[in-house]
A and B are shown apart, each in its own frame.
Chain A
């Protein structure tokens, strides 16, 4: 019978003691910051490639299609390893540490963030495209008939409306992103899961430590669920027809699948 080590478990779960550990504290910060930056890269690339897919210029369409095809069709873990180890060994880019004031951003974090962001962009592209295509074509016609160019019409008329369709799945993508940052462990980026694996290497208590680690991720995604509800509720005020799920429905995924 396995003896569960409650002392280790509580030490690495209770924020007062767990966050006193620099590896865990920094790991948590890295996980949050990388999630936000990678999601932002994903949204930007998703927007670009969604517009690219709808471009009149064929090579731009092909480029967007190829990007989405490759990054959705290959494993993120492989993409990350390819980017970090592959580019490193060719010396195309060595991912040197970057010093920003007091903070050093390691090469692994840069590569991991980039891989997460570029991978996410391919998924965001479909979400953005679906959002744009959900808007009545009459809106673009009305904008054009008023003398707006395609880019003005997109920026001022189509995208602001599409945003309401894009935001809910975007929130779900961010939930995923926070969990997926743990893949960066394989390239030794010092995020939250990596911190726990390092501690485990010293204590060898994988059951206790990884339960504690999982509960930190659960806390992050639960807090995000509350924030997401708030954001969607404020959007919902202007669009009363679609019911936004409340936070309990969201956490337990009721009625969504």
Chain B
């Protein structure tokens, strides 16, 4: 696998002249689209540059969104990620399955640097995540830059992690206002349209504890979408839900799957069959199979895949 080496890893940002949102310059071009007010924005001339590496990343055959290059991670002597190489294209939906402790959540969480890695490189949109090169060695990125990288990546957690001191609406507008500097009015309008989309507009002034688990998870999805990420990560989004609430969350995820790049750690086989382009089976920190859901379910190649499937499919 060839190595992408962006000449600059630090994003350059400027304010959208029409809505005030802080935007990160993608690395090339004179103008860009502001996802917050849907206008075409002329990039200030002083910021324009051609970032060859990022352009190369964007030019490849599939518009790579996520790329793992020989990624390794250890917890002490436990080798949780072993030489992971992975490429996820734009608009692909990838479901990750595997036994408990196989490293699937660690892999997902390393994409937005909630987990550090010990060697290798992870790129999102051609930019290295969490680290930068200095004197030919990788050092951890500054906190501000990591925060800016994470702002482009949405994440949904198993236990929702909604902010309990804020209402549903406040949960959603918090990051756009604090991180992107979007005016309250615009943020509220966007939050309301997202709440309509997940079917919870009438809950806007309630607190998270007043909602069911399924409703909380739908709010959590809306909260992540409010940052207009191109990539969404779902870490066992339905595992903490009562069975009758799983469907409503999966329905929202299925509708998202049509329009964005998603990585989903989940054992919901129905979702995988209906929405996934690819399914990865991970065991002991390695990607054992990487194929289509039909292929994996109907003709698993590896013995341990069969064993695992027999356990979860009964």
| Shortest Cβ distance from residue B239 to the other chain A in the assembled complex, whole angstroms | 14
Give the segment of B84-92, B157-165, B195-203, B255-263 that binds chain A.
Answer: B157-165
Given A146-B175, A146-B224, CB of A141 within 8 Å of CB of B143: no
- By the criterion CB–CB under 8 Å, are B161 and A138 in contact? yes
Contact check: which of B114, B207, B227 meets A147 at CB < 8 Å? B227
B151–A146 CB distance below 8 A:
yes
Chain B hits for A147, CB < 8 A: 147-148, 150-152, 175, 179-180, 227
Cα of A236 to Cα of B170 in the assembled complex, Å: 20
A131 to chain B, nearest CB (A): 13
Q: Does A220 contact B (CB under 8 A)?
A: no
Is B165 a contact of A146 with CB atoms below 8 Å? Answer: no
Query: In the assembled complex, which residues on chain A have CB atoms less than 8 Å from the CB atom of B207?
Result: 238
The stretch that binds B, out of A23-31, A89-97, A156-164, is A156-164
Contact pattern, A 156-182, Cβ under 8 Å of B = 1, otherwise 0: 110011000000000000000000000
Residues of B within 8 A of A145 (CB): 112, 114, 150, 153-155, 157, 224
What residue in chain A is nearest B159 (Cβ atoms)?
A138
Task: Give the interface centre of A136, A146, A149, A150 by most chain B CB atoms within 10 Å.
Answer: A146
**A152 within 8 A of partner (CB):** yes
Given A149-B144, A156-B178: A142 and B157 within 8 A (CB)?
A: yes
Chain B residues with Cβ under 8 A from A238's Cβ?
165, 207
- Nearest-neighbour CB distance to chain B for A102, whole angstroms, equals 43
Known A-B contacts A146-B227, A149-B143; A157 and B179 likewise in contact (beta carbons under 8 Å): no
Residues of B within 8 A of A142 (CB): 155, 157, 161-163, 220
Interface centre among B150, B152, B153, B207 (most CB of A within 10 A): B150
Interface: B104 (CB within 8 A): no
Residue of A nearest to B147 (CB): A149
B157-A161 in contact (CB<8A):
no
- For the complex, is B223 an interface residue (Cβ under 8 Å from A)? yes
B236 at interface by CB-CB < 8 Å: no
Q: Could you tell me if B164 and A146 are in contact, using CB atoms closer than 8 angstroms?
A: no
Q: Distance in Å from the Cβ of A227 to the closest Cβ of chain B?
A: 23
Q: Is the CB of A156 within 8 A of B147?
A: no
User: Beyond A148-B175, A149-B143, A152-B178, is A139–B163 a contact (Cβ under 8 Å)?
Assistant: yes
Which residue, of A145, A148, A149, A156, has the highest number of chain B Cβ atoms within 10 A? A145
| Nearest CB in chain B: distance from A91 CB, A | 43
Asked whether B174 is an interface residue with its Cβ less than 8 Å from the other chain, the reply is yes
Contact-residue bracket for chain B: 20 to 34
Q: Tell me, in angstroms, the Cα distance from A147 to B226 when the chains sit together.
A: 12
* Inter-chain contacts of B175 with A (CB < 8 A): 143, 146-148
Which of B112, B175, B180 has the largest count of A CB atoms less than 10 A from its CB? B175
Q: Among B179, B220, B227, which residue has the most Cβ atoms of chain A within 10 A?
A: B179
CB nearest neighbor in B for A136: B161
Within the assembled complex, what's the spacing in Å between the Cα atoms of A156 and B163? 10
Contact across chains for B148 and A138 when beta carbons are under 8 A apart: no
Let me know if A141 and B165 touch, CB within 8 A: no
A156 touches B174 (CB 8 A): yes
Report chain B residues within 8 Å CB of A157.
Answer: 163, 174
Expressed in whole angstroms, the minimum distance between the Cβ of A67 and any Cβ of chain B is 24
Q: Which residues of A contact B157 (CB under 8 A)?
A: 138, 141-142, 145
Whether A144 is near chain B, meaning CB under 8 Å from some CB there, is yes
Whether A141 contacts B114 by the Cβ 8 Å rule is: yes
Task: Please tell me if the beta carbons of B114 and A152 are within 8 angstroms of each other in the complex.
Answer: no
Q: Which residues of A contact B143 (CB under 8 A)?
A: 149-150
In the complex, what distance in Å separates the CA atom of A139 from the CA atom of B161?
6
> Are the CB atoms of B147 and A144 closer together than 8 Å?
yes
Given the interface pairs A144-B150, A146-B150, the reply to whether A152 lies near B163 with Cβ below 8 Å is: no
Interface residues of B in 172-201 (CB under 8 A from A): 174-175, 178-180
Q: How far is A165 from B151 in the complex, measured between Cα atoms in Å? A: 30
> Smallest Cβ distance from A165 to chain B, in angstroms?
12
Q: Whose C-beta in chain B lies nearest to the C-beta of A151?
A: B143
B155 contacts across to A, CB distance below 8 A: 142, 145
**Which of B147, B153, B162 has a CB less than 8 Å from the CB of A148?**
B147
A154–B152 CA distance with the chains assembled, in angstroms: 21
In the complex, A163 Cα to B269 Cα: how many Å?
Answer: 43
A152 touches B179 (CB 8 A): yes
Contacts A161-B164, A238-B207 aside, 11 further interface pairs with beta carbons under 8 A come to A138-B157, A138-B159, A138-B161, A139-B163, A142-B157, A142-B162, A143-B163, A145-B150, A146-B151, A146-B175, A148-B175
A-B contacts, 26 listed (Cβ < 8 Å) = A138-B157, A139-B163, A142-B157, A142-B161, A142-B162, A142-B163, A142-B220, A144-B114, A145-B112, A145-B153, A145-B155, A145-B157, A146-B150, A146-B151, A146-B174, A146-B179, A146-B224, A147-B148, A147-B175, A148-B175, A148-B178, A148-B179, A156-B174, A161-B163, A161-B164, A238-B165
